[in-house]
């Protein structure tokens, strides 16, 4: 497919962005690396790698407790990163940013600290069929503990949330909380989260948005969204692994009990009883992933400095190019044809197992993912066990999209 000129990014801009990622220049065997597994994790720009290295070389110390210079510098770096994240997602107050290990831990925190004390037998936790296991299993665990039920809103054949069904569930079921993904990691569907949030608000239902994929794909503004909670992971936003964010409305966070106990989250400890700090410290027990937070802050600052709108348009053009190229191959079926899509092309190829497709492509230096993408209920919905998934990021090129298509054509010939 020819890409609109308006969507073509200047080659020097793309080269500059790409040049920021040292890992991308390497070869896999004789082939240049084509990294198309960005929905699993994005690569890291030098700015992030340098920030983490600099932190360990120059500032490393434990935070919040020390009076010495290094501890104060480490504490400032940690809290500056919190401020950067708050600004990045439009949170009114830095205290609304809780650092977690990732999206998974953020959802667990809300499930156990916010939902569990409120849930009664028979209450419904409303999800969608396209959720990642990270936004299913914590709710199942808390439902088991409380007698609540997890009910998924269905998705259509195209991979969109059935909004009529979603609204009806909100109207007819005793929904205590709704949690849904902004951008699907397995289909690339961009959900109408504003509409979903408005429907939940109208029903008086608190909400959690899984923004794991969205933060690198779309502007995310929690104040505009007016969600109760939002979760994401640093490693899908050009930052380090093992660090993530829970945003919550201040009143909720203030009212929530601690999720884990330990150092740094207490006001006073005695064997007669312990009192706790307010949010966010209340939810950050023990020595946190300080270097990860510093790296995440650097990632956010690096990303904010990029021409994001143009890069997203470029990425959308990559997805369209790959989708059209793959759809033209005999035996290919695209899984997920929503009107609004970002980053991801999931596909099947006749009788070829997705893992075989992934292995063939790897032999050509092309990294994709094969399997259920931690979305087994969604795969079951489509009567499949998994897909081959190419997922793009801002640094991928049209040539890489074309190399994917050419390589899949070769795989198709092999299996025909
Ligand atoms: C949509 C979505 N939600 C949640 C997660 C879980 O993220 P993490 O493993 O970083 O906690 C992922 C990771 O693939 C994801 O894509």
Q: What is the mean pLDDT of residues 254-262?
A: 97
Choose one of 262, 287, 304: the last residue of a domain: 304
Choose one of 288, 304, 320: the last residue of a domain: 304
Q: Is 369 in the pocket of ligand 1 (CB under 6 A)?
A: no
What spacing in Å lies between the alpha carbon of 134 and ligand 1's midpoint? 6
Instruction: Tell me if 348 sits within 8 A of 335, measured CB to CB.
Output: yes
- Say which residues have a Cβ less than 8 Å from residue 376's Cβ, sequence separation at least 6: 133
Instruction: Tell me if 39 sits within 8 A of 234, measured CB to CB.
Output: no
pLDDT digit string, tens, across residues 82-105:
999 999 999 999 999 999 999 999
Q: Is 227 labeled as catalytic in the residue annotation?
A: no
**Same domain assignment for residues 76 and 100:** yes
What spacing in Å lies between the alpha carbon of 376 and ligand 1's midpoint? 14
Q: What is the mean pLDDT of residues 385-412?
A: 98
What is the C-alpha to C-alpha distance for residues 115 and 46, in angstroms, rounded to an integer?
39
Ligand 1 atom closest to residue 102's alpha carbon, by position in its atom list: 11
- 342: domain CATH number is 3.90.1150.10
pLDDT(8) > 90: no
Q: Is 329 in the pocket of ligand 1 (CB under 6 A)?
A: no
**Same domain assignment for residues 324 and 294:** no
Please tell me the total number of residues recorded for the chain in this structure.
Answer: 416
**Same domain assignment for residues 184 and 327:** no
Predicted pLDDT of residue 310: 96
- Residue of the CA atom closest to atom 15 of ligand 1: 212
What spacing in Å lies between the alpha carbon of 212 and ligand 1's midpoint? 5
pLDDT digit string, tens, across residues 280-291:
999 999 999 999
Ligand 1 atom closest to residue 241's alpha carbon, by position in its atom list: 10
Predicted pLDDT of residue 351: 87
Residue 24 CA: distances (Å) to CA of 10, 13, 318, 345, 356: 19, 16, 17, 20, 24
Choose one of 255, 282, 304: the last residue of a domain: 304
- β-bridge mates for residue 244, sequence order: 100, 233
* DSSP secondary structure string for all residues of 4-18: PGGGPPPHHHHHHHH
Name the catalytic one among 49, 137, 165, 374: 374
Q: What is the residue range of 9's domain? A: 5-41+307-415
Cα Rg, the chain, nearest whole Å = 22
**Same domain assignment for residues 317 and 257:** no
pLDDT(2) > 70: no
* Cα dihedral sign, 100-294-214-393: negative
Q: Is 212 in the pocket of ligand 1 (CB under 6 A)?
A: yes
What spacing in Å lies between the alpha carbon of 412 and ligand 1's midpoint? 30
- Residue of the CA atom closest to atom 7 of ligand 1: 103
**Same domain assignment for residues 358 and 385:** yes
Q: Is 185 in the pocket of ligand 1 (CB under 6 A)?
A: yes
- 150: domain CATH number is 3.40.640.10
pLDDT(152) > 80: yes
Q: Is 344 in the pocket of ligand 1 (CB under 6 A)?
A: no
Ligand 1 atom closest to residue 131's alpha carbon, by position in its atom list: 1
Predicted pLDDT of residue 132: 98
Count: domains in the chain: 2
What spacing in Å lies between the alpha carbon of 4 and ligand 1's midpoint? 32
Q: What is the mean pLDDT of residues 392-402?
A: 98
Predicted pLDDT of residue 7: 56
Ligand 1 atom closest to residue 41's alpha carbon, by position in its atom list: 14
Q: Is 233 in the pocket of ligand 1 (CB under 6 A)?
A: yes
**Same domain assignment for residues 210 and 351:** no
pLDDT digit string, tens, across residues 42-79:
999 999 999 999 999 999 999 998 899 999 999 999 99
Q: Is 389 in the pocket of ligand 1 (CB under 6 A)?
A: no
């Amino acid at each position: 497919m020819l890409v609109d000129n308006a969507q073509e990014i200047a080659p020097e801009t793309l080269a500059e962005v790409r040049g920021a990622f040292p890992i991308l220049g390497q070869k896999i065997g004789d082939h240049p690396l084509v990294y198309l597994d960005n929905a699993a994790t994005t690569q890291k720009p030098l700015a992030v790698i340098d920030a983490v290295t600099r932190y360990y070389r120059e500032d490393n110390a434990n935070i919040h407790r020390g009076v010495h210079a290094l501890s104060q510098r480490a504490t400032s770096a940690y809290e500056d990163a919190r401020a950067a994240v708050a600004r990045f997602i439009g949170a009114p107050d830095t205290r609304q940013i809780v650092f977690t290990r990732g999206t998974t831990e953020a959802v667990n925190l809300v499930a156990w600290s916010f939902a569990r004390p409120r849930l009664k037998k028979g209450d419904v936790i409303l999800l969608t069929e396209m959720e990642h296991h990270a936004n299913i299993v914590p709710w199942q665990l808390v439902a088991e503990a409380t007698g609540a039920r997890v009910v998924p809103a269905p998705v259509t054949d195209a991979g969109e949330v059935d909004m009529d069904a979603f609204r009806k569930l909100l109207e007819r079921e005793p929904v205590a909380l709704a949690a849904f993904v902004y951008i699907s990691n397995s289909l690339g569907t961009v959900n109408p989260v504003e509409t979903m949030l408005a429907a939940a608000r109208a029903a008086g239902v608190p909400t959690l948005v899984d923004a794991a994929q969205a933060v690198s794909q779309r502007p995310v503004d929690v104040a505009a969204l007016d969600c109760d909670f939002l979760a994401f992971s640093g490693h899908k936003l050009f930052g380090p692994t093992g660090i993530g964010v829970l945003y919550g409305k201040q009143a909720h966070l203030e009212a929530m009990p601690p999720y884990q106990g330990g150092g740094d989250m207490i006001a006073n400890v005695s064997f007669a009883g312990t009192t706790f700090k307010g949010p966010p410290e209340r939810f950050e027990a023990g020595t946190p992933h300080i270097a990860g937070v510093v790296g995440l802050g650097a990632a956010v600052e690096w990303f904010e400095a990029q021409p994001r709108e143009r890069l997203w348009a470029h990425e959308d053009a990559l997805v369209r190019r790959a989708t059209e190229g793959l759809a033209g191959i005999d035996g290919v079926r695209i899984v997920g044809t929503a009107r609004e899509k970002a980053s991801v092309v999931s596909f099947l190829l006749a009788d070829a197992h997705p893992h075989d497709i992934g292995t063939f492509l790897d032999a050509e230096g092309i990294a994709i993912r094969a399997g259920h993408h931690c979305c087994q209920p969604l795969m079951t919905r489509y009567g499949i066990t998994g897909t081959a998934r190419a997922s793009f990021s801002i640094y991928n090129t049209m040539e890489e999209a074309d190399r994917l298509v050419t390589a899949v054509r070769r795989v198709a010939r092999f299996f025909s």
